[in-house]
Amino acid sequence: MADVQKIIGDAVKVHGTERKALMPILQAIVQEKNYLSDEDMISVANVLDLSSAEVFGTASFYTFLDTEERGEYVVRVCKTISCHMAGKDEVINALEKNLKIKAGETTVDKKFTLLTANCLGWCHKGPVMLVNDEVYPELTPQKAVEIIQEHKNR
Amino acid sequence: MSKYTVNLKINEIPISVEEGTTILKAAKELDFRVPTLCYHEDLCVAGNCRVCVVEQTGSKALVAACAVPVSEGMEIHTNSAKVRSARKHIIELLLSEHNSDCTKCYKNGNCELQSLAHEYRVGDHVFADLVTGKHTIDNYSPSIIKDDSKCIRCQRCVRTCTELQSVSALAVAYKGDKQKISTFLDHPLVEVVCTNCGQCINRCPVGALIEKTYLEQVWDAINDPTKHTVVQTAPAVRVAIGEELGYDPGNRLTGKMVGALKRLGFDSVLDTDFTADLTIMEEGTELLSRLKRALVDKDPDVRIPMTTSCSPGWIKFIEHTFPEYLPNVSTCKSPQQMFGALAKTYYARKKGLKAQDIVSISIMPCTAKKYEADRPEMRSSGYKDVDYVLTTRELGDMIKQAGINFKNLPETNYDSIMGDSTGAGVIFGATGGVMEAALRTAYEIVTGREVPFDNINILPVRGMEGIREAKVKLEGCLAEWSFLEGVEVSCAIAHGLANARRLMNAVKSGKVNYHFIEVMACPGGCLGGGGQPIPTSKEIRDKRASAIYQEDENMQIRKSHENPEVKQIYEEFLGAPNGHKSHDLLHTHYTARNKY
């Protein structure tokens, strides 16, 4: 388990405790553990002397600041029109079948979360997906499954 | 503010205004009203609702009058064809996402969106209705109902909760069509840091935030022949009820209000001012005894400064935000709860009634009082001490429902017992009032003389400055209080919880040293409470405040300790202030609460 108090403490050393430190601190937590728990948001609110509602408001605005528990690898398949026309549905179907979950869900072993995402800016090389911060363009269903398989073995 | 003037034309009429003035204010100076929804004079500019758009010659896009400052040579049109068309579409778009079931809405008739829809004669379903029926309605709080289906996301409530109150129970969450006003994790208001102050209700332009009403329960009690209904009225109600009934702000209508309550059918119409006076006796005694313990006994456990405890919004705030300072809060219950506890004990005994047959109702300028009455501690009589709390607005509704011609009512006096009050009791309704009332009494107890201020008006504690300080030197003390000789009692007053937070942070930092602190959760004190008539503005608060001080000046007795019924209750029932019986009935304790 990631030590969130330590992550916050380290981030505060760099970014301070002003209001503007909120985003980098939230990003630092998500970087380490892929999501913000309720307690994490309360901890950040206490350190920055903000209301928890404000921290939640900020986190909920940004798709990449997840407030629900996520797996070790967060897979985000672009659902926007170019990737749709290039066959993202087939990619998602293949991933759902391979991971035995639906889009929006996390595997029982907490290793993978499958999500759809708005435009990732790779329209010329769709369909595209992200696994955490890595970009995988020009997917086919088979390629996508191979990438997942490779992550399973990591 | 800069002194440069800017010349511009609004609807072809030239005008010169100070640099930095917004188009909205400049138009107002020329008596052109530009409609607004997200704008509120108590709050910072948001510019998100867009209904205030106006046309600027030479600019392709319409500009938001509330947000754009004037500039030299500007030509503004507030009612051009382009403006009218855009504004109408904006209202129609807002309505497409708004539950427009107006006849069943609590705000029917007092809704800013409804008025604009009427003013602009909007078409029938110009845009598709996007209200999904999936919105949440938070009905758990005894004070506030939050109905997201009516929310237009103008964020007045968020700015109120953040800027005025520094509570930030409400924030904007999610984005785009999912955007909503939310508490932490969308928890019910009753589970988060919300203080129930109701300032958001006072500023919500629609029916998304309203008070929880107990009108029907009160009518049922009145109509039940087996019940004896006792109603108490808070100090600030008498100077604001007129606004619900067609009067201009600032009218003192105590006598007519009492007359109306009698016609509504309450068995006994009594005054919270009576228990305000009683609060002064209890709280003043508590302050003096804390000072004695600190100065003479050198008791390390005694906590100074002592803070007031009448404002239930302040109590909930300090329980959440500064729990380490709870021992500093006076243990006195608020006047409402003292009244409730006595109604079902002392009053019941005097009248030969059983406590279970009494229904105790209060009329308050406050929504937090509804929560306070529901607290488990507030059952000292063995029953719920205050059964139902109605706001000033709900009393206005009752008077209208009963078809009473308020303006023609004769002036009527409060019933006894617990109906006598003093000028000190009535100023509880204004910020600084509890302090002034306490000083009038405490000074006299200690020195045997009146407070050394002209006509006992302690002007330094009055006013609308967010945080005020005052010092009163005690000289010529009576033998019993000789330990206070030469002590300069240092007081501070804050109103609005943002100011309260600033004051408490200063206390915490050790930079300031006070003996006594008065905090009122609402701007202006109770006269600006969350249960007061809508709208409330700075100008209206000032008018209500001067009405309160006029009321005080016109009272024959203006010091709490001279209230004859207060003397009587100590002789017949309570014994001495802070005595055993007082502690059982009139004092309470507080609970540290979560920080989200």
In Å, how far is A62's CA from the nearest CA of chain B? 8
Candidate CATH numbers 3.40.50.620, 3.30.70.20, 3.40.50.2300, 3.40.50.300; the one for domain B94-211: 3.30.70.20
Report the residue of chain A nearest B174, measured CA to CA.
Answer: A61
Q: In this predicted structure, what is the pLDDT of residue B123?
A: 79
The yes/no answer on whether domain A73-152 falls in CATH 3.40.50.720 is: no
Pick from A46, A54, A56: CB nearest B185: A56
Pick from A42, A53, A60: CB nearest B169: A53
Judging contacts by C-beta atoms under 8 Å, the chain B residues touching residue A118 are none
On whether the CB atoms of residues B311 and B194 are closer than 8 A, the answer is no
Fill in the DSSP letter of residue B344: I
The CATH number of B227-274+336-408 is 3.40.50.1780
Pick from B169, B172, B596: CB nearest A42: B596
Interface residues on B facing A, Cβ-Cβ cutoff 8 A: 162, 167-175, 182-185, 192-193, 595-596
**pLDDT digit string (tens) for B476-489?**
999 999 999 999 99
On whether the CB atoms of residues B71 and B8 are closer than 8 A, the answer is yes
Residue B47: pLDDT band (50, 70, 90) is: very high
In Å, how far is A150's CA from the nearest CA of chain B? 34
Judging contacts by C-beta atoms under 8 Å, the chain A residues touching residue B175 are 61
In the chain, the amino acid numbered B139 is: N
Whole-number average pLDDT of chain B: 96
Judging contacts by C-beta atoms under 8 Å, the chain B residues touching residue A55 are 184
Q: Does B227-274+336-408 match B94-211 at the fold level? A: no
Q: With pLDDT > 90 as the criterion, what percentage of chain B qualifies?
A: 95
Cα–Cα distance list, A68 to A15, A39, B148, B182, B376 (Å): 25, 12, 23, 17, 35
On whether the CB atoms of residues B512 and B492 are closer than 8 A, the answer is yes
Cα–Cα distance list, B121 to A73, B84, B88, B89, B116 (Å): 54, 11, 8, 11, 8
CATH topology of domain B280-333+424-536+551-586: Fe-only Hydrogenase (Larger Subunit); Chain L, domain 3 (3.40.950)
On whether the CB atoms of residues B126 and B92 are closer than 8 A, the answer is yes
CB contact under 8 A, A52 and B596: yes
> How many CB contacts within 8 angstroms connect chain A with chain B?
54
| ipTM score of complex | 0.90
Q: In this predicted structure, what is the pLDDT of residue B131?
A: 86
In Å, how far is B211's CA from the nearest CA of chain A? 21
Report the residue of chain B nearest A61, measured CA to CA.
Answer: B174
Q: Which of A44, A47, A49, A51 has the highest number of chain B CBs within 10 A, making it the mutation to test binding with B?
A: A51
Q: With pLDDT > 70 as the criterion, what percentage of chain B qualifies?
A: 100
Instruction: Return phi, psi of residue B240, to 5°.
Output: -130, -20
Judging contacts by C-beta atoms under 8 Å, the chain A residues touching residue B173 are 53, 56-57, 60-61
Q: In this predicted structure, what is the pLDDT of residue A30?
A: 94
Q: In this predicted structure, what is the pLDDT of residue B2?
A: 57
In Å, how far is A99's CA from the nearest CA of chain B? 28
Percent helix, strand and coil across chain A, each rounded to 5?
50, 10, 35
Q: Report, as residue numbers or ranges, the catalytic residues of B.
A: 283, 286, 310, 330, 369, 372, 377, 526
Average pLDDT over residues B212-235: 98
Domain range annotation of chain B: 5-79, 94-211, 227-274+336-408, 280-333+424-536+551-586
Interface residues on A facing B, Cβ-Cβ cutoff 8 A: 38, 41-42, 45-46, 50-57, 60-61, 67
Q: Which two tokens stand for residue B572?
A: 């017949």
Residue B71 has pLDDT above 80, yes or no: yes
Residue B124: pLDDT band (50, 70, 90) is: confident
Cα–Cα distance list, B272 to B115, B233, B236, B362 (Å): 36, 5, 10, 8
Q: In this predicted structure, what is the pLDDT of residue A1?
A: 58
Cα–Cα distance list, B222 to B262, B405, B459, B559, B571 (Å): 11, 20, 42, 34, 32
Report the residue of chain B nearest A46, measured CA to CA.
Answer: B595
How many residues are there in chain B?
A: 596
In the chain, the amino acid numbered B265 is: G
Q: In this predicted structure, what is the pLDDT of residue A10?
A: 96
Angle at CA of residue B261, ends B257 and B266, nearest 5°: 160
**pLDDT digit string (tens) for B429-472?**
999 999 999 999 999 999 999 999 999 999 999 999 999 999 99
What is the per-residue DSSP string for B14-72? EEEEETT-BHHHHHHHTTPPPP-SS--TTS-----S-TTEEEETT-SS-EETTTPBP-T
Report the residue of chain A nearest B158, measured CA to CA.
Answer: A54
Report the residue of chain B nearest A45, measured CA to CA.
Answer: B596
Q: In this predicted structure, what is the pLDDT of residue B60?
A: 94
Pick from B171, B174, B175: CB nearest A51: B171
Q: Which two tokens stand for residue B33?
A: 């009203």
Q: In this predicted structure, what is the pLDDT of residue B125?
A: 75
Angle at CA of residue B543, ends B399 and B541, nearest 5°: 85
For residues A66 and B38, give the distance between their C-alpha atoms in angstroms, rounded to a whole number.
30
CB contact under 8 A, A61 and B173: yes
**pLDDT digit string (tens) for B175-184?**
998 999 999 9
**pLDDT digit string (tens) for A102-130?**
999 999 999 999 999 999 999 999 899 99
Local structure of B580: helix, strand or coil: helix
Average pLDDT over residues B507-515: 96
Residue B252 has pLDDT above 90, yes or no: yes
The CATH number of B5-79 is 3.10.20.740
Residues of chain A with pLDDT under 50: none
**pLDDT digit string (tens) for B368-402?**
999 999 999 999 999 999 999 999 999 999 999 99
Q: In this predicted structure, what is the pLDDT of residue A40?
A: 96
